[in-house]
Structure 1
């Protein structure tokens, strides 16, 4: 049975501080950030938007000073991509997503590379994780109190945040996972500081958040990868390819 990735995307965006439903789309906004990786939209499965529906969606973004952006699995709503293309949306990226189920997860053995996987509990830990991820994803985000607060809300709200704690109490890298919806959950924000790469950090924290979701009863977790090296890491953990997700943006 295919993982309901698109239904999950809709449910997840409805959790945003501001969720807007319009013309077969759900847009999720967080007023605390202008990041396009937080503020974006997705179609309802099977949506068949008109030109007016797309225009209304664009207006919801423009009215907030944001670039219109969508993430979705195109096979779940075949009529959406042509409607967006007709309005001028261009391709930002196309990603394959990988899925893991409880029976396929392979947890790596404890590391001898000088770190241990930990659950953050205090504000300095969340700040250190946010800073480490900003370093890992250079140019995509900057460390901020709002970023640390989002991580805390994720952990406290039924999701999972795990980090690789170094011997001196620092953060070598981290991963997070959304709270489950429609039986699945998205693993995201997997990042390792450059000085700690190729030591098993990404594999350890990814397996930890996946295991945490399975303990909560999720039937699956899924993620997207950024290159062949990371794909191989995730496949060794028990993730397998299942479909693609399309990212479209409407520039000025």
Structure 2
């Protein structure tokens, strides 16, 4: 699965508004934000970069005033992590990813029980989803018009978005799924506003998005998680361990 996930990562970054391919790396940039989570690179499976290849990649980030940063499945390109660490890159995180297939999928809320899941369609609904996810992730990113527009573009370019409406008409929580590539898709940004947690919102939107992708013929859906609580939510839907993904970045002043 590591190679498939890595091939997906390459294909997904190639969809970005600005793309640089150099020395076995693909870097995808979003000109409307300097967020490191939306401007990063990934290696081609099996890449074996030289010092010059890594330097060229770093240059592509530095000339844009961005943090050189990569996300990838290290087992799909074993030579990459050592080359990056030799250049001063440090580890931000190592995340396990989980995979769901039509054979492992389980409806966590059978019989129609649980929150009603909807598909955002209006600008107001995309703004509400963006604001809910910003709150859910504790200010890791702020709600913005650009964020809402990115959610709409994702939904209109082959991806999917789902949300659960709050009692006040806003958004209790939601999630998105990327456009498919390499017979898989990434489910991301599953978040619930604190006041609406422990009501099945995350499980409901995860299940709805996973079903939607299987309905489109995708062979698997994968995601990353943080914390055992969220892991339990996903395993209820049928997600199973698939591998790990490594996040690395290069500080402005590499350590001595």
The residue aligned with 1:100 is 100
State how far apart, in whole Å, the 2-side matches of 1:3 and 1:185 are. 14
The residue aligned with 1:157 is 157
The residue aligned with 1:211 is 211
The residue aligned with 1:14 is 14
2:172–2:192: 8 Å Cα contact kept in structure 1?
yes
- Structure 2 counterpart SS, 1:64: coil
- Structure 1 counterpart SS, 2:81: helix
Unaligned 5+ segments in structure 2 are none
1:172–1:193: 8 Å Cα contact kept in structure 2?
yes
Q: 1:232 Cα shift?
A: 1.0
**1:121-136 matches, cutoff 5 A:** 121-136=121-136
1:3–1:220: 8 Å Cα contact kept in structure 2?
no
**1:36-51 matches, cutoff 5 A:** 36-51=36-51
- Structure 2 counterpart SS, 1:4: helix
| Bigger shift: residues 123-132 or 206-215 | 206-215
State how far apart, in whole Å, the 2-side matches of 1:3 and 1:41 are. 16
State how far apart, in whole Å, the 2-side matches of 1:118 and 1:6 are. 30
State how far apart, in whole Å, the 2-side matches of 1:191 and 1:136 are. 5
TM-score normalised over the length of structure 1: 0.97
**1:11-160 matches, cutoff 5 A:** 11-109=11-109, 110-112=112-114, 115-160=115-160
State how far apart, in whole Å, the 1-side matches of 2:84 and 2:133 are. 32
The residue aligned with 1:225 is 225
Unaligned 5+ segments in structure 1 are none
2:2–2:73: 8 Å Cα contact kept in structure 1?
no
2:95–2:224: 8 Å Cα contact kept in structure 1?
yes
State how far apart, in whole Å, the 1-side matches of 2:196 and 2:128 are. 15
The residue aligned with 1:183 is 183
